[in-house]
Amino acid sequence: MSHCEHDAKKSAPVAAPACHGQAPASQDDCCDVPQRRDYLFWGSLIVVAAAYPIGAVMHHDSHNALSIFTGGIFELFNQMWWGIAIGVLFVGILGRLPRELVMGVLGRDGGIGSLFRATLAGVFLDLCSHGILAVGMKLYERGASAGQVMAFLLASPWNSFSLTLILIGLIGVGWTLLFILLSLLIGIVTGAIFDALVQRGHLPANPWKDELGEEQPPSVLWRELRQTMNFSVGGTMQLLREGFAGSRVVIRWSLFGLVLAGLIRALVPEDAFATWFGATMGGLWLTLLATTVIEVCSEGSTPIAADLMNRAGAPGNSFTFLMAGVATDYTEVMSIRDTTKSWKIALFLPLITVPQVVLIGAVLNQF
């Protein structure tokens, strides 16, 4: 993809905008083209808007497909809405931060150090997978490399503080810490592979990185940003509007995934996970297939993964369900494709990550 051309005046570094003040026109939108009606977004939104109130009042009968579908929409939306909302806020804030500041924190020179910082950033942001995805896509627009974004996404969805505590309560401290360490390892390895492929020309580089100005210490950039901050109700509303616009791609695919998840819940028996997914290679591959097909938010995947650990006795399947769900999530794949304008970057995520996850899952099933 060829990045849009800027005239000489626009190519100069832009001063940091006010945090909650009126933002200047963003250069992130320089490649925008007149958009067609987003049928996927509006169609999914209509289905969710119709199913949610029905699921709230309808008795959830396990033998009624409509009840299961609407109940699934109701339950999953309640689990994911707050993550999306906070993600919108973070995206709006990130949109106001200068690219130089974002990349000063993450590191613009590449290498293991920058990947490690991106991975830690993913761990410490307490968001679900759908909220973190919006932030990850904005990081790419702020100039982060493909490897940094992948490391950030792989470390984030179920390693948040709240879900870590929940997972400790469900499967214990030892397994939880092991899962976290292994996910950090996969994130760093995957990020390093992505950056290597970009350097060798097999994957496209981030076009927004060309807009980064001269590198300055983050402390200087923070001081300049604080001096420009002013807070107002109007500015806050504008920030939220920008955050929603920047998260539109993620929200679209999250709603679509929500509809698919409701349909699959209505068609697949709930106890099939514990019955079919034992600690065997067959069970591991079935787990991989299930987590690929079923769109489950991180809050929903955590108890299911714990069930695979406790009831099916398959720690490898539990880890695979958590990690492969991130790597093969079609919401994530399509959002990456829409943001990077590259099918190769989007499809290389599962191609690089899934073999690592399956190998580690097979080893864990031996314990």
360 falls in which pLDDT band (50, 70, 90)?
A: very high
Q: Which of 48-52, 177-181, 229-233, 255-259 has the lowest mean pLDDT?
A: 229-233
At 26-57, the pLDDT tens digits run 433 333 434 578 788 899 899 999 999 999 99
Q: Where are the domains of the chain?
A: 40-213+230-364
Q: According to the per-residue pLDDT averaged within each range, which of 79-83, 99-103, 187-191, 243-247 is highest?
A: 187-191
Between CA 9 and CA 12 the distance in angstroms is 6
Residue 103's nearest CA partner among 208, 259, 175, 12 is 208
Residue bearing the bigger pLDDT, 89 or 316: 316
pTM for the structure as a whole: 0.62
Between CA 18 and CA 29 the distance in angstroms is 18
69, pLDDT greater than 70: yes
- What does the mean pLDDT of the chain come to? 74
Between CA 13 and CA 227 the distance in angstroms is 17
213 falls in which pLDDT band (50, 70, 90)?
A: low
Residue bearing the bigger pLDDT, 78 or 162: 78
Residue bearing the bigger pLDDT, 357 or 328: 357
Between CA 328 and CA 358 the distance in angstroms is 12
Between CA 122 and CA 119 the distance in angstroms is 5
CB 185 within 8 A of CB 235: no
R_g of the chain, CA atoms, integer Å: 21
For residues 289-304, give the mean pLDDT. Answer: 68
Residue 149's nearest CA partner among 209, 86, 228, 68 is 209
Residue bearing the bigger pLDDT, 241 or 223: 241
Q: Is the dihedral of CA 207, 213, 218, 221 positive or negative?
A: negative
- Outline where DSSP puts E strands in 148-232: none
